[in-house]
A and B are shown apart, each in its own frame.
Chain A
Amino acid sequence: MYQWIITGLFVCFLFCGSVFASDGIAIVKQVQGTVTVKRAGEALPVEQGDRLRAGDILITGGDGHIGVIFHDGSILSLGERSFLRVEDFVFKPIESEFKFNLDLKKGTALFESGKIGTLSPEDFTFTIPEGTIGIRGTKFLVEVR
């Protein structure tokens, strides 16, 4: 199934956005109030349509909110006074390579899983100060019960 030959792959980039590369791991859908992205030690302003990269740290101020969609379709929404690091994101369904780690140090986050949650739930972890949150496949849940 994964040994597809993909010839004729055709890529068109339109409206490549600001300082953020168009080939990131996520697209910034919404920004409100004060939101900063820390990348390689540098604090960058962020706006709608920007791309995120693995390693980025998202920081929201007292009035801040940011909504992001990762390339596997996962949704992340951060509330005010939050600090979250995107540790890892690899989404290569053809090669069957997946990795997704988010680390919330403080604040409020909403997360809805995308294709990594379906194809490879064990490769997803959401780290919190006290531990981790993972996705349990349906099969495993049946075993628990």
Chain B
Amino acid sequence: MKLSEVKEILNAEVVAGEEFLDREVKSAFGSDLMSDVLAFVKDQALLLTGLVNGQVIRTAEMMDIKAIVFVRGKKPTEDIAELAKEYQMVVMTTDYTLYPSCGKLYCAGLVPNEERVD
């Protein structure tokens, strides 16, 4: 799914990486726990989280995650957005909570390859 579609489906506002909305994501992972992101995320995933701090961006960078959606209307501060821009990430924010955000994307066809942990 293209990030521009993600933006539309979640009625999201782009706060960084507007120029990369053509990018494709193949799966998604929703979590507020960054250690679980480090444990379970696979390739080219979109991260949905309600946690807003610099470690979210750094965690995403470690996992080669190129797109993050902050849910529940959370807006990253300027320095967090700057860090994301440095890593050429797309960062969006949506007013939907985590469960409906994931549900809407899933229904629209963004289905992960692996739905269970090993």
Please indicate whether A and B come from the same complex rather than being unrelated chains.
no
- B residues contacting A by CB (< 8 A) are none
